[in-house]
Chains A and B, each alone.
Chain A
Amino acid sequence: MKEKNNLRKTLSVFICVACCSLFVSCGNSNTGNADKTKDNESGISASEIDKKNGGNNDDDYAASRDIFAMDTYMTVKAYGSNADEAVEEAIKEIERLDGMLSATDKDSEIYKLNMNQGGSLSEDVSYLIERSKEIYESTEGTFNIAIYPIVEKWGFASGDYNVPTQDELNELLKDTDFSKVNYDKNNQSLLYETETMKIDLGGIAKGYTSARIMDIFKDLGVTSGIVNLGGNVQVLGTKTDGSDWKVAIQDPLDEDSYIGVLKTHDKAVITSGGYERYFEKDGVRYHHIIDPKTGYPADSGLISVTIVCSDGTMADCLSTSLFIMGKDEAIAYWKKHSSEFDTILYTENNELLVTEGIADQFTSELNITIINDDK
């Protein structure tokens, strides 16, 4: 009798343990699946396209890919039933523009223009030259794609760094006058006035690329998407749940923190700062954003400038420009163009300034000074 009881007990214990382990393993396999979905979302493999579990709603379907291009790391993500095609087309567009706009690739249109002191232009380059001219003029020469000979001299193009002498810079500065690059709009051609002139679209190419991707998304009926081209972000629509995208701005002084978070939709959010791409020599830090007036890395008192603008191309140009201008000039520029963009400025004295158009959407643990347009 006792033996039978023992047997029963053992049996019930065994069954219970079996049940429990089943429960636990079920739990584990669930988290396993969840992880897999998430991994795919971030585009773990460049060729892998994710499909959210369930697929009960087409709008929730997400496709994403990542790619190394334009000297940076890019991620592209689209939602909806055409997401796959939209992402494929976006990657193709990135590769096409990268091959065309690179200043170092010997087969690129820009490289050939620089070798031949001009030539005829493709539609894309023609548009970019026009926009560059427009912003060169509105920023009074601060946005200057003809600064490239000086960028090369510093070694930022090759990685072979060197601090040029003032004499060398003065000599080169003569050949960085963008107004001496003659653009013929009717014939879509370019002619450099001197042999040593060179242009580089690095300050506009990524913004243009993200803007192009938004167009591709729209053409394919995609209403929700986000691209991050090496820290230059542009979003289409809102997230699929209707809420705004959250874009965090890196704190230049503490890599693991953010200056703040912006909630936004249908905008490009592009930041310029000198805290990542730099080299050090004899204890001095030289970053890659060159002030075209001095030929030296900009030292304006601003350490991070973010532009929020529905036009990605413009946002890219202006982030560099306002970074070089410094706080006062940047605010003055914004006041003249306040209908076109908003900006977040962060100074070396930890002052955080935000223009009124986005003040409500921006949250930060720091004290925020709101800049109003006094018009």
Chain B
Amino acid sequence: MKKKDIILGITIIIIGLILMFVMKLYNNSQGDEVIIKVDGKIYGKYSLDKNQEIEIDTEYGHNTVCIENRKAYMKEADCPDGYCKHQGHISKGNQTIVCLPHKLVVEIKVNDKSSGDNAKLGNNNVSKDNDSEDELIPDAIVK
């Protein structure tokens, strides 16, 4: 009986570990976020995976940010110049849409594995992967 208990215990621990691993994996793939800031402060964080419309009403004016098929764009804005609506559909790390008159920034935050713990630990085994991953996320975008 005691032996079986141990086997049961180990099995559950293993299942637990697998569950944890799967959850971490799931977390990573779901990690890409749309961050909306107004006047330098976070207005909200939204998953890039969930299609939705976000209405933003502030003292500066009204904007509607739309997340659709893993891309975010400015659907509506009552700002005078309308430049934010020209900035297209964004989905890559560090890309932004800026509505200047409303002091509003829509930013994509990609769950950047390369600049995370692996890189810090200097893990050489994964450095190759990091490089290719790194390639996708520039430090800055000129436009």
Contact = CB atoms under 8 A, between A and B. Distances in A.
A231 B142 contact: yes
Contacts of B109: 38-39, 42
A261 B88 contact: no
Interface in A25-43: 27-28, 31, 34-35, 38-39, 42-43
Given A23-B16, A71-B100, A277-B83, A250 B117 contact: no
Interface string B81-98: 111001111111011101
Interface string A211-241: 0000000000000001010111101000101
Contacts of A269: 140, 142
Given A20-B16, A47-B40, A68-B103, A261 B138 contact: yes
B12 A73 contact: no
A333 interface: no
Given A68-B100, A258-B138, A20 B13 contact: yes
Interface stretch (A5-13, A102-110, A123-131, A177-185): A5-13
A231 B20 contact: no
B5 A270 contact: no
B13 A16 contact: yes
Interface size range of chain B in the complex: 35 or more
Contacts of A73: 96, 98, 100, 105
Contact of B92 (A15, A34, A256, A277): A256
Given A38-B115, A246-B139, A247-B142, 11 more contacts: A23-B17, A28-B23, A44-B42, A68-B40, A68-B100, A73-B98, A159-B80, A159-B81, A228-B141, A231-B143, A254-B88
Interface of A: 5, 8-9, 12-13, 15-17, 19-20, 23-24, 27-28, 31, 34-35, 38-39, 42-47, 54, 66-68, 71-73, 159, 226, 228, 230-233, 235, 239, 241, 245-250, 254-256, 258, 261, 269-271, 273, 275-279, 306
Would you list the 9 A-B pairs with minimal beta carbon distance, nearest first?
A255-B88, A20-B16, A46-B40, A250-B143, A16-B12, A248-B138, A271-B142, A231-B143, A159-B80
